[in-house]
Amino acid sequence: MRLPLTALALVITIAATSAAAGERPNILIAISDDQSFAHTSFAGYPAVSTPHFDRVASSGVFFENAIAASPGCSPSRAALLTGRHTWQIEEAGTHASSFPAKYRTFVELLQEAGYTAGHTGKGWGPGNYELEGRTENPAGPGFHEKRLVPPTNGINKIDYAGNFEDFLAQRDPEQPFLFWYGAKEPHRKFEKGSYLAAQKSLSDATPPSFLPDHPEIRADLADYCVEIEWFDQHLGKMLAMLEASGELENTIVIVTSDNGMAFPRAKANVYEYGVHVPLAIMWNAQIPPNRIVKDVVGFVDLTATIFDLSGTAPPQGELALSGASLRELLLSDRQGLTRPDSFAYAARERHSSSRYNNLSYPQRALRTSRFLYIKNFAPERWPAGDPVQLDDEGKPLGPHSGYTDIDRCPSQDLLLAGHDTPGLSKYFHLAVDKRPAEELYDILNDPGCLHNLADKETYAATRRELRAQLEGYLLETGDPRQVDGGDIWETYPRYSPMRTFPPHASGSDQ
């Protein structure tokens, strides 16, 4: 939601006054790669232990309804960096393309305002930022030199905490800092069976409702939790460094993920487990602790908050932010659902190279405190990607060789092998089948998004209301999909590996 201009100007003036007094906070952003909202110990998932996320949540605010901008990393991170919805940032709004330089990031603007910035691990990407004349990753100067031997072969060798230590050692202590800790976990691939060495019990790894309760699924979830814990361990080391130096008190710590878990019907889908992510924010000097907020917030709101609390003027005019600062929520003692009409938007275009001619699967979503409304702009296409892909000689690789918008994993392999098996075929079809133009879910009672209410007469008024709100906002904000069909999205180049598919696959019922 966007603040009125007068209110936004007042907020910026107040924050700038604080900044002028030399009280600008440091900012540490910790962002995991592919983690859904349910999978922290603070949220009560027994298969994972995240004491350092839990510390941030307990020391400040835990946001129960945080919605990422997109169910894929590159566009979601670009929206966070720019404070604009993915449909407002051209190439940066789709996966593995470029990042137009005219969209200034909060990292750039905070640096110009006197912040020392850096990042380690995964910043913005995948994509090609150099095409637009950028000389460094949009997440800031890189600190990647320190390496380590990870506990599993699925975990990256970057020593995130060690690189943060290097950043702190070389910065000017008279300047506030902004640091982006981008773990590459729990992105696929996980080391299969790594949960065994971590002494995890499969009884704790309960699957969400859109996946079968099967030992292979539980084991995959347990391996995923091992990688979440790695992300959390490095967060803990960073918090300890700041505490030891006396800087934690005046550091805003934001912990979240870019999109949901890399499992069928989660990542690359605007369902709950694709865009609903963990979010906790602490600032010991200013934010009252021990609060759970149920208001719906989006990534563009996080960007507005960073500008606001740092006392930095955001972009104006045609490139203005699309969100509203969370200052009032953060600095008050409010908790629970304080704004029942709160909402956030999410969107996707292309994810992987998954369809003939690199076609996308365009979706827009509106999430309220109770409902998730989805508009599928091309329901004739396959949401998980075309079913059959071609080999290097242009020959079909065989039935069900596609669906490459799902990260290849043991869970997908199980569903593919059981596509016609009782007890499994239902979940296979949930993951890959075509979907109607409209979807509506009561996420309070159906977080797995299994029961589409869009064609139920009881919910007709809700569907019409949410459709009007979404389409009206898309028109107001210039979304090409809503304005003229959005063919421009099919023209943006992809700078990651490409696959090929039969020309008929996008419109057939294989």
Give the tokens for residue 96.
């593995």
* 88 within a domain of the structure (yes/no): yes
* 340 within a domain of the structure (yes/no): no
Q: What is the dihedral of CA 201, 223, 50, 326, to 10 degrees?
A: -130
* 234 within a domain of the structure (yes/no): yes
245 and 363 fall within a common domain: no
Average pLDDT over residues 438-442: 98
State the pLDDT at residue 22.
53
CA-to-CA distance for 39 and 86, rounded, in angstroms? Answer: 25
Q: How confident is the model at residue 132 (pLDDT cuts 50, 70, 90)?
A: confident
CA-to-CA distance for 14 and 422, rounded, in angstroms? Answer: 62
pLDDT in tens, 370-426: 999 999 999 999 999 999 999 999 999 999 999 999 999 999 999 999 999 999 999
* Contact call for residues 80 and 299 (beta carbons, < 8 A): yes
Q: How confident is the model at residue 506 (pLDDT cuts 50, 70, 90)?
A: low
Coil, helix or strand at residue 256: strand
Average pLDDT over residues 103-127: 98
Burial class (CB in 10 A: 0-12, 13-18, 19+), 65: buried
Residue-wise burial string across 25-53, b where 16 or more C-beta atoms lie within 10 A, e elsewhere = bbbbbbbbbbbbbbbbbbbebebbbbebb
* 163 within a domain of the structure (yes/no): yes
Asked which of 18-27, 82-91, 439-448 is least confident by mean pLDDT, the reply is: 18-27
The H or E element that residue 28 is part of is strand 26-32
Phi then psi dihedrals of residue 15, to 5 deg: -65, -40
Phi then psi dihedrals of residue 385, to 5 deg: 105, 160
230 and 379 fall within a common domain: no
Average pLDDT over residues 173-185: 97
Average pLDDT over residues 94-109: 97
State the pLDDT at residue 16.
39
CA-to-CA distance for 221 and 14, rounded, in angstroms? Answer: 46
* 339 within a domain of the structure (yes/no): no
pLDDT at residue 254 tops 60: yes
289 and 381 fall within a common domain: no
pLDDT at residue 508 tops 50: no
CA-to-CA distance for 300 and 85, rounded, in angstroms? Answer: 7
Q: Is the Cα dihedral 230, 61, 164, 249 positive or negative? A: negative
Half-sphere exposure of 461 (CA within 13 A, CB side): 1
User: Which structural domain range is residue 464 located in?
Assistant: 346-507
pLDDT at residue 7 tops 50: no
247 and 355 fall within a common domain: no
Of 274, 214, 125, 131, the closest CA to residue 423 belongs to: 214
306 and 445 fall within a common domain: no
Instruction: State pTM to two decimals.
Output: 0.94
Beta strands in 231-327 (DSSP E): 251-257, 276-277, 279-282, 291-298
* Contact call for residues 274 and 71 (beta carbons, < 8 A): yes
Of the three residues 291, 312, 333, the one that is the final residue of a domain is 333
Average pLDDT, the chain: 94
* 338 within a domain of the structure (yes/no): no
Total number of residues shown for the chain: 510
- CB within 8 Å of 261: residues ≥ 6 apart: 34, 35, 36, 39, 186, 224, 267, 273
State the pLDDT at residue 23.
84
* 354 within a domain of the structure (yes/no): yes
pLDDT in tens, 337-356: 998 899 999 999 999 999 99
Of the three residues 301, 333, 365, the one that is the final residue of a domain is 333
230 and 125 fall within a common domain: yes
Half-sphere exposure of 503 (CA within 13 A, CB side): 0
Give the tokens for residue 240.
């300890």
* Contact call for residues 11 and 308 (beta carbons, < 8 A): yes
State the pLDDT at residue 355.
96
pLDDT in tens, 357-374: 999 999 999 999 999 999
CA-to-CA distance for 135 and 361, rounded, in angstroms? Answer: 31
| 52 CA to centre of own chain | 20
State the pLDDT at residue 50.
98
318 and 380 fall within a common domain: no
State the pLDDT at residue 289.
98
| 396 CA to centre of own chain | 33
Q: Is the Cα dihedral 483, 489, 490, 491 positive or negative? A: positive
State the pLDDT at residue 5.
35
State the pLDDT at residue 505.
53
Question: How much of the chain exceeds pLDDT 70, in percent?
Answer: 94
Indicate the number of domains in the chain: 2
328 and 401 fall within a common domain: no
400 and 280 fall within a common domain: no
140 and 197 fall within a common domain: yes
Using only C-alpha atoms, the chain has a radius of gyration, in whole angstroms, of 22
405 and 329 fall within a common domain: no
94 and 163 fall within a common domain: yes
Of the three residues 333, 358, 389, the one that is the final residue of a domain is 333
Question: How much of the chain exceeds pLDDT 90, in percent?
Answer: 93
CA-to-CA distance for 323 and 297, rounded, in angstroms? Answer: 9
CA-to-CA distance for 119 and 278, rounded, in angstroms? Answer: 20
One-letter identity of residue 90: E
pLDDT at residue 19 tops 60: no
Cα distance between the two ends of the chain = 41
